[in-house]
A = this chain, B = another copy of it.
Amino acid sequence: MPKTSHKGSDFDCVTCIMRKHSDWRVLATDEVDLLARGQTRYSYQSGESIYSMGQVGNGVHCMCAGTVAIRRLDAEGNSVLLHLAYPGDTLGYESVLTGEPHRCSAEALGPAKVCHIDARTVKQLLDANPNLGLQFLRRTAASLDAAQDKLVHHATLSNRAKLAHLLLVLMDRYGRETVDGANTMHLPVSRRDLASMIGARHETVSRIISRLENEGIAFFSGRSVRVPHIDALLEEIRPQLVG
């Protein structure tokens, strides 16, 4: 099923609610008009690719709705899920800035609405408003910080602790608290992806999940998760000595 597109007047950045929560909030009124003219809105179905590793980007992607997986493949074809992107995030600007091919692929994990902004428009805006570049810089620095935190976790935590941490992070975004104080959520990713996010085999994740269920810490059914006492997951994150 191909993605659907809506050009120009059909949708307008001027009225976009997400824009105020994104890097584009630094733009002046006339610059937003320029942004709106250079933009095309796309709707993606679950599993559809927004861009692929190796391609040269011809623009940036601004998320309005849904969840997008940022993956990188190694030489053996392993896919590692590096990051989940959400509304307000801008994707793929590295390639536009450097002219180099994308180093990651971006794939919709469910119905998603993503606006594509023409490379020429992006460059015009960066030229017109230096704050946009500084905003991108702040955002990229935050991503780098997050990536370094993940590196520290990979170096110091066990797979069980990393999975517990990941569940807490996902619960923060997807979770709902029920009347009895338990937390529940619907996982946005498969267990294979959960495994690649923490750098473990999927069988290992499966086994850790079994143990968490036996110990009454978390209960899984398909992609829905129920955690009776969220503190029990927090207890799992105990770093070990490294070095």
Residue of B nearest to A72 (CB): B152
Please judge, given known A-B contacts A151-B154, A195-B242, whether A134 and B80 are in contact too, CB under 8 Å.
Answer: no
Q: Using Cβ atoms and an 8 Å threshold, which residues of chain B touch A199?
A: 151, 154-156, 242
Residue in contact with A239 in the complex, picked from B72, B76, B98, B136, CB distance below 8 Å: B76
| Most chain B CB neighbours (cut-off 10 Å) among A141, A143, A154 | A141
Residue in contact with A201 in the complex, picked from B136, B145, B243, CB distance below 8 Å: B243
A78 engages B151 (CB within 8 Å): no
Cβ of A45 within 8 Å of any chain B Cβ, yes or no, is: no
B137 engages A241 (CB within 8 Å): no
Copies of the chain in the assembly: 2
Q: Using Cβ atoms and an 8 Å threshold, which residues of chain B touch A147?
A: 144, 147-148, 151
Bound-state Cα–Cα, A43 to B151, Å: 30
CB A119 to nearest CB in B, in angstroms, measures 14
Bound-state Cα–Cα, A201 to B156, Å: 10
Residue in contact with A155 in the complex, picked from B98, B130, B154, B241, CB distance below 8 Å: B154
Bound-state Cα–Cα, A153 to B201, Å: 14
B150 engages A80 (CB within 8 Å): no
B151 engages A192 (CB within 8 Å): no
Bound-state Cα–Cα, A202 to B151, Å: 17
Q: Using Cβ atoms and an 8 Å threshold, which residues of chain B touch A80?
A: 151-152, 155-156, 242-243
